[in-house]
Amino acid sequence: DTAAQDSHEIYYYQDGEDEEHLARLKLIDELKQALTNDDGQLFMAYQPKLNLKTQQIDKVEALIRWHKPDGQWVSPELFIDLAEQSGLIVDLTQWVVSTVVKQVAEWQQQGISMKAAINVSAQDIAHDDFFPHLEAELSRFKVPPALITVELTERDMIENEEKGIAALKALKALGVMISLDDYGVGQTSLGRLKMLPIDELKLDKVFILKLDESQQDQHIVQSTITLGHQLGFSVVAEGVENLASLNLLDQMQCDYAQGYYLSKPLPSAEFLNWLGDYHQAG
């Protein structure tokens, strides 16, 4: 009887959806616990950005990592998405801000002058606690605001536009740098780009991964660097995976290069080792 079969299938399908839903709820709950306990499951990894003008590593991007006690790694794409959907992102970002500002202060005490970029979401920017928390942590750890960059995607800037732009302007007034992440794959018109209170354009890695092989990517990247500079922005390329692409970016007057060719994102101790080796080799 097909009707019965159909209804059985529908029921079965919904059953599967429930399981997926439960798995997501469980993950959100585990993430909440990991944040509350702060027992090392969550930690920051740091990926160097090479200043192409000076050939110095003077900046990193901070990227969150989650290693569960059961041995499982959860990708940030997945759990950041869950955190955004559940509202947990606000607490998560506060934890990220505190951890990274403290890390920058520790580096300073060790004589290492290093700027750091933090990724934030639309909800963070619109939230009343975000700015006061960042400001309080900067003053608690005596970190100059200019050492911190906030990275936001085009989507995050467009959501909550009015409140978002006001919040970005407040950050800028404090002296924090603003970066437009994943530029080139989103919705930002040139008219809007002109209006955004940003300091940096971060070219999405889709244009960079095969830069050395693709004439089209080279045209896009060169035009964007020129446009960015003429609008007064610094330009960063992420996803640099080989020397040929790095050299092209240098020739194109790109300001910063970031990618696996230099280093993957590393926990802080490993990053310091990498930095020591890099300086010795260079």
Site for ligand C2E (CB under 6 A): how many residues? 24
Q: Is 145 in the site for ligand C2E (CB under 6 A)?
A: no
**End-to-end Cα spacing for the chain:** 74
Give the nearest distance from C-beta 96 to ligand C2E in angstroms: 5
**Gap between the Cα atoms of 259 and 238, Å rounded:** 6
With respect to ligand C2E, which residue has the nearer C-beta, 93 or 218? 93
**Among the candidate windows 105-113, 115-123, 215-223, 224-232, which touches ligand C2E by CB under 6 A?**
115-123
Instruction: Name residue 196's amino acid.
Output: L
With respect to Mg ion, which residue has the nearer C-beta, 30 or 203? 203
Give the nearest distance from C-beta 240 to Mg ion in angstroms: 12
With respect to ligand C2E, which residue has the nearer C-beta, 138 or 152? 152
With respect to ligand C2E, which residue has the nearer C-beta, 5 or 73? 73
The listed partner (Mg ion, ligand C2E, none) that binds 64, CB under 5 to 8 Å by sort, is: ligand C2E
Give the nearest distance from C-beta 22 to ligand C2E in angstroms: 24
Crossing angle of helices 215-230/243-251, nearest 10°? 40
**Gap between the Cα atoms of 195 and 114, Å rounded:** 29
User: E strands, the chain, where?
Assistant: 42-51, 56-67, 73-74, 115-119, 148-153, 177-183, 200-203, 234-238, 256-258, 266-267
* The one among 30, 124, 154, 182 contacting Mg ion by CB under 5 A: 182
**Gap between the Cα atoms of 109 and 202, Å rounded:** 29
Give the nearest distance from C-beta 123 to ligand C2E in angstroms: 9
- The first and second tokens of residue 197, run together, are 């209170």
- The first and second tokens of residue 108, run together, are 């300073």
Residue with token string 């110095």:
56
Give the nearest distance from C-beta 17 to ligand C2E in angstroms: 25
Give the nearest distance from C-beta 100 to ligand C2E in angstroms: 8
Give the nearest distance from C-beta 111 to Mg ion in angstroms: 27
Q: Is 260 in the site for ligand C2E (CB under 6 A)?
A: yes
Contact 197, 231 (CB under 8 A): no
Residue numbers 106-165 binding Mg ion by CB under 5 A: 119, 151
Q: Is 156 in the site for ligand C2E (CB under 6 A)?
A: no
**Gap between the Cα atoms of 61 and 80, Å rounded:** 16
- The first and second tokens of residue 246, run together, are 């790095």
Instruction: Name residue 255's amino acid.
Output: D
Residue numbers 170-229 binding ligand C2E by CB under 6 A: 181-182, 205
* The one among 241, 250, 253, 270 contacting ligand C2E by CB under 6 A: 241
DSSP for 113-156 reads: --EEEEE--HHHHHSTTHHHHHHHHHHHTT--GGGEEEEEEHHH
Per DSSP, what are the bridge partners of residue 146? none
* The one among 94, 103, 119, 179 contacting ligand C2E by CB under 6 A: 119
Element (H, E) at 249: helix 243-251
Residues that bind ligand C2E (CB under 6 A): 47, 63-64, 75-77, 80, 93, 96, 119-121, 151, 181-182, 205, 238-241, 258-260, 265
